[in-house]
């Protein structure tokens, strides 16, 4: 195992920001993890402050043994992605603070105007489990052992992520990328 991102960011990833950004921030997260939920505000501040200089990527890392609904929540996000609403459901999942049981996920789908029948069928059939599993395996190969875990330009960030710590790490990497 290494502390390098494996595989690198690619076409199957969920991303926001400029393709030409100097810094690519990848987060492995779990929708039921309270720390991942707290990191949501940190990432939002970074994105707002850095604008086009930052590209943000999300990968699923459901910690099923600790969070019983993390897997189905990740699959729900992928079902929403299939209908063009990944980021909208992603935000709802991280902001709810409630258990992410299937009825709540279906209610979120309705709230977002998704085809609820299709969404429900895909959840029941585990249509998107392979995508979640691919992200999870990427995390394992990349030495992720908890959530949230961040990678900055492909290297795991092992320091703090709260407050200014992650921004300072990104600034240091960004400065190196410009040099």
**pTM of structure:** 0.94
Give the DSSP H/E element, type plus range, for residue 79: helix 70-81
CB-CB contact of 97 with 37 (8 Å)? yes
Give the DSSP H/E element, type plus range, for residue 38: helix 34-50
The CATH class for the domain spanning 14-178 reads alpha beta
State the pLDDT at residue 174: 64
Mean pLDDT (10-residue bins), the chain, 179 residues: 85 94 96 96 95 96 95 98 98 94 98 98 98 98 97 95 90 66
Quote the percentage of the chain above a pLDDT of 90: 89
Q: For the packed helices 70-81 and 129-141, what is the interaxial angle rounded to 10 degrees?
A: 120
């Amino acid at each position: 195992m290494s502390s390098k991102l494996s595989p690198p960011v690619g076409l199957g990833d969920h991303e926001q920001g400029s393709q030409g950004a100097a810094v690519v921030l990848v987060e492995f997260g779990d929708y039921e993890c309270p720390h991942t939920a707290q990191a949501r505000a940190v990432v939002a501040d970074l994105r707002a402050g850095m604008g086009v200089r930052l590209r943000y990527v999300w990968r699923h890392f459901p910690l099923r043994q600790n969070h019983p609904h993390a897997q189905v929540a990740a699959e729900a996000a992928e079902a929403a992605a299939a209908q063009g609403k990944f980021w909208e459901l992603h935000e709802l999942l991280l902001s709810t603070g409630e258990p992410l049981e299937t009825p709540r996920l279906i209610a979120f789908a309705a709230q977002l105007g998704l085809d609820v029948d299709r969404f429900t069928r895909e959840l029941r059939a585990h249509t998107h489990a392979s995508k979640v599993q691919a992200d999870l395996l990427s995390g394992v190969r990349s030495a992720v052992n908890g959530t949230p875990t961040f990678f900055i330009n492909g290297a795991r960030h092992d320091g703090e992520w709260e407050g200014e710590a992650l921004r300072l790490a990104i600034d240091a990497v960004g400065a190196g990328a410009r040099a």
